[in-house]
Amino acid sequence: MTGVRVLAVDDVRAALDELCRLLRASPDVAEVRGAGDALSALKVLQAEPFDAVFLDISMPGLNGLELASLLAKLTDPPVIVFVTAYDGHAVSAYGIGAVDYLLKPVRAERLADALTRVVRATAARRATVAESVRPDAMPALPVESDGRTRYVRRAEVQFAEAHGDYVRLHTPSGVHLVRMPISRLQEYWEGSGFARVHRGFLVALDAVRELRSDSVGGMLAHTSLGDVPVSRRHARELRERLLLAAQRGELGKR
C-alpha cells in the first residue's frame, strides 16, 4: 500500500476545504475527494472504492451517523473517522465502528494520529481480503537457467529487487532473476507477508531483523541477506505492518 484514498464529507464548505488540505499534506494519503453532503458522498462511494471516510456528523438530511450505519453494511466498507464540533456523539460513533473521533478545529498532530489508525485498519483489512480471495497466489515462481526450469518458493525469498522488466529474488541459495515487473509481484505477494518498502524493493516482513538508519538519515530494513532501503513514504506503513505481525506472532520465523 502506497497511501490511502480518503473521502472527506462536510456540509460547511470552509471546513471541508480545510480538512481536504490537511489530508493532502499527509504522506499517508494518496488521494482526497470531498463531498458536501451525505447523499453526494454515498453516490461517490457507490461509484468507486475509498479506504477511509472522514465524516462530519451534523449535516442536513442524512447525518453522519446514519451514513456510517449504511456504509457498515457494504461488502468492503471504508474505515470511518468522525470529524465534528460536538463531543456528545462519541459513544454512538465508536459503537458504529469508527476508528477515531476528531473534534473541530482539527489539529495536524491529531489528524496524524487518526491516519495512523486508518493505515493500520486498512492494512489489516487488505491482508484479510487478500488471504480470503487469493490465499496462495504464486507460492513459487519459475526461474529459467541454462535450459532448465526450477521453482523458487515464496517462503525462501527475503526480498525482491526491481531490475527493469525483471525482479531479482534474494534467497539463502542465491539471487534468482524472474521476468516480471515488481508491481505485478507486489500484487501477488503483498497479502502473503511482503511489503513494498521502496520504488524498487519488496521485503518479507518475517525476514526483517531490525530497522536501521543509514548515513544520510534514511531507513534500512536489515535482513540476513543484506539491507533493504525504505523510502520515507513507506516507513510508517512498514512499522505498522511489522508491529501487527509481531502481535500475531508472525515474526522471527526465518
The residues spanned by each domain of the chain are 4-133, 140-247
Map residue 205 onto helix, strand or coil: helix
Q: What is the pLDDT of residue 15?
A: 95
pLDDT at 92 over 50: yes
Largest CA distance in the chain: 70
Provide the 10 A C-beta neighbour count for residue 16. 19
Between CA 28 and CA 244 the distance in angstroms is 17
Q: Are 80 and 53 in contact (CB under 8 A)?
A: yes
pLDDT in tens, 37-71: 999 999 998 888 899 999 999 999 899 999 999 88
Q: Can you give the pTM of this predicted structure?
A: 0.52
Between CA 92 and CA 170 the distance in angstroms is 49
φ, ψ dihedrals at 64, nearest 5°: -65, -40
pLDDT at 19 over 80: yes
Match domain 140-247 to its CATH number in 3.40.50.300, 1.10.10.10, 2.40.50.1020, 1.10.357.10.
2.40.50.1020
pLDDT in tens, 75-90: 788 999 999 887 776 6
State which H helix or E strand residue 221 sits in. strand 219-223
For 218, how many CA atoms within 13 A lie in the half-sphere containing its CB?
Answer: 16
Between CA 125 and CA 230 the distance in angstroms is 23
CATH for the stretch 4-133: 3.40.50.2300
SS3 of 107-144: the string is CHHHHHHHHHHHHHHHHHHHHHHHHHHCCCCCCEEEEE
